[in-house]
Amino acid sequence: MTLRTRCLATLSAVLALWTASSPARAGDEPDLCSAGQLPMLSTDQRAICDHGREWIAVFKRGDIDGLMAMYTADAQVALHDQKKLVGIEAIRAYFAPALAQRPRVEFDLHVEAIRVHGDVAHLISRYWYTSVQGNDPPIQDAGRSLLIYQRAHDPAGKPVWKIMVDIDQSTPDVGFPAPRR
């Protein structure tokens, strides 16, 4: 089965599972990556939670090389109101100018679902992002993300998860203010 076929099958399964398991009201589900939920997750699910926390930390540090290391070489990123980015160089070109400015950033995720399908996994989350540069007004973005991960190996041969597809969208049920933690 080709990677494209696996991705399409995974996306179909994600949408079916998400529709079938969505609570009556958005926000009713616990954050799967919270400390209280982690013990109930598989090793792979916990690794994906760690990846999400590390992505935020790397982004906040402005580490463009570290951020790019978290994506597959042929990753696709589709952010709302932006052209789809394909491949590390396009993703780098998008993120590098913002990270170089070193804005003050707040980024909060509430993970709603993590499913692992062999060497491919997906995560669905709500997110809230605020960026402040100097005295400029804050830039705020909130919505829902779908991340599709692929199992890879680091230079030492240790299995790691990398982002293969990153889709963010505005949704009417996710907005500011962000919920208090």
Percent of the chain past pLDDT 70, that is, above it, reads 84
Q: H or E element: which one contains 166?
A: strand 159-169
CATH code given to domain 3-21+43-169: 3.10.450.50
Q: pLDDT at position 150, please?
A: 97
pLDDT < 70: residue spans in the chain: 1-28, 181
Residues forming beta bridges with residue 163, ordered by sequence position = 71, 149
Domain chopping of the chain, boundaries: 3-21+43-169
User: Residue 45: what residue type?
Assistant: Q
Number of H helices, E strands in the chain: 4, 6
Q: pLDDT at position 7, please?
A: 43
Average pLDDT over the chain, rounded to whole? 84
Per the CB < 8 A criterion, the answer to whether 53 and 33 are in contact is yes
Phi, psi torsion values for 38, nearest 5 degrees: -55, -40
Tokens of residue 164, six digits: 């293969």
Q: pLDDT at position 28, please?
A: 65
Q: pLDDT at position 86, please?
A: 98
Q: H or E element: which one contains 165?
A: strand 159-169
